[in-house]
Amino acid sequence: MRDRRAGGLAKRLELCRSFVQELVDRDKNHPSVIAWSLANEPHSRRPGAKEFFKNLYTAAKARDPSRPVTLVSYLGEEEKSFEFCDLVCLNRYAGWYTESGRVEEGCARLSRELDDLHAAFRKPIILTEFGADTIAGCHAIEPEMFSEEYQARLLERTIQVLRTKPFVVGERVWNLCDFKTSQKVKRFGGMNLKGVFTRDRKPKMAAYVLQRLWKNRG
């Protein structure tokens, strides 16, 4: 049984190596590509995960030594692959899935975690996902979850926290536009509503907040 599992793992590794190599070969001359990511929120707690991704990291570096290589994790300090990755990429929904409805508490927790991550790995950090589901046209005098005001405040306060961290080199709001997804208890109408634009590309309040923040980045 153990030999069979080992053989299966070797086949999966070889398949993933070929995917990485094909990805780099296809997009290495694209001017918008700044880094290579090996995975998004992988099951990194499983035995052998670190060695598995180290192998893929080596394959990507061999194909393109000019760009950084990383993976995107939700584990934080538990992500062992950050030990060899060039960038620390973290998905966090502070103020939404955690500290729900409490933007300031979520941002305070995020701030502490970013400091701890930098102390642990001493590498540049990108916050690769953050945001809040928002129903277009839903408003609240005091920002509350699912209102346009809440999304706008959460994104602005999160970005303000990031601006205080010189080791944070990038941010990626999730998401540009609302999109269809599977039916779930948290997915009204089978939609992910974290877009700063609606599915038909009409701006929510948050789009203008991001425009102001990013226009005044310097």
- Check whether residue 114 and residue 142 sit in a common domain: yes
- Check whether residue 95 and residue 203 sit in a common domain: yes
Kindly give, in sequence order, each residue whose CB lies less than 8 Å from that of residue 110, ignoring residues fewer than 6 positions away. 92, 94, 158, 161
94 in any annotated domain? yes
pLDDT, the chain, mean: 95
- Check whether residue 14 and residue 68 sit in a common domain: yes
pLDDT of residue 5: 60
82 in any annotated domain? no
pLDDT of residue 63: 96
Q: How many domains does the chain fold into? A: 2
How far apart are the C-alpha atoms of 103 and 119, rounded to whole Å?
A: 24
- Check whether residue 91 and residue 167 sit in a common domain: yes
- Check whether residue 36 and residue 119 sit in a common domain: no
Report pLDDT digits (tens) over 103-129: 999 999 999 999 999 999 999 999 999
Kind and range of the H or E run holding 113: helix 103-121
53, 74, 95: which is the final residue of a domain? 74
For 50-59, the CB contacts below 8 A with 24+ separation are 50/80, 50/81, 50/83, 52/9, 52/13, 52/16, 53/81, 54/81, 54/84, 55/13, 55/17, 56/13, 56/16, 56/17, 56/20, 57/81, 57/84, 57/85, 59/17, 59/20, 59/21
74, 103, 129: which is the final residue of a domain? 74
Kindly give, in sequence order, each residue whose CB lies less than 8 Å from that of residue 92, ignoring residues fewer than 6 positions away. 74, 110, 113, 127, 129, 130
- Check whether residue 119 and residue 70 sit in a common domain: no
Q: Map tokens 């948290």 to a residue.
A: 186
How far apart are the C-alpha atoms of 30 and 169, rounded to whole Å?
A: 21
Tokens of 83: 């030990």
pLDDT of residue 218: 57
pLDDT confidence of 2, banded at 50, 70, 90?
A: low
- Check whether residue 52 and residue 114 sit in a common domain: no
- Check whether residue 92 and residue 70 sit in a common domain: no
- Check whether residue 166 and residue 106 sit in a common domain: yes
Closest alpha carbon to 83 in 40, 36, 51, 109 = 51
Whole-prediction pTM value?
A: 0.92
46, 74, 102: which is the final residue of a domain? 74
- Check whether residue 99 and residue 49 sit in a common domain: no
pLDDT of residue 1: 43
Report pLDDT digits (tens) over 86-108: 999 999 999 999 999 999 999 99
Please identify every residue annotated as catalytic.
41, 129
pLDDT higher than 90, residue 209: yes
- Check whether residue 146 and residue 218 sit in a common domain: yes
Report pLDDT digits (tens) over 10-47: 899 999 999 999 999 999 999 999 999 999 999 999 98
pLDDT of residue 4: 53
Output the domain CATH number for residue 130: 3.20.20.80
- Helix locations, 28-75, DSSP H: 49-63
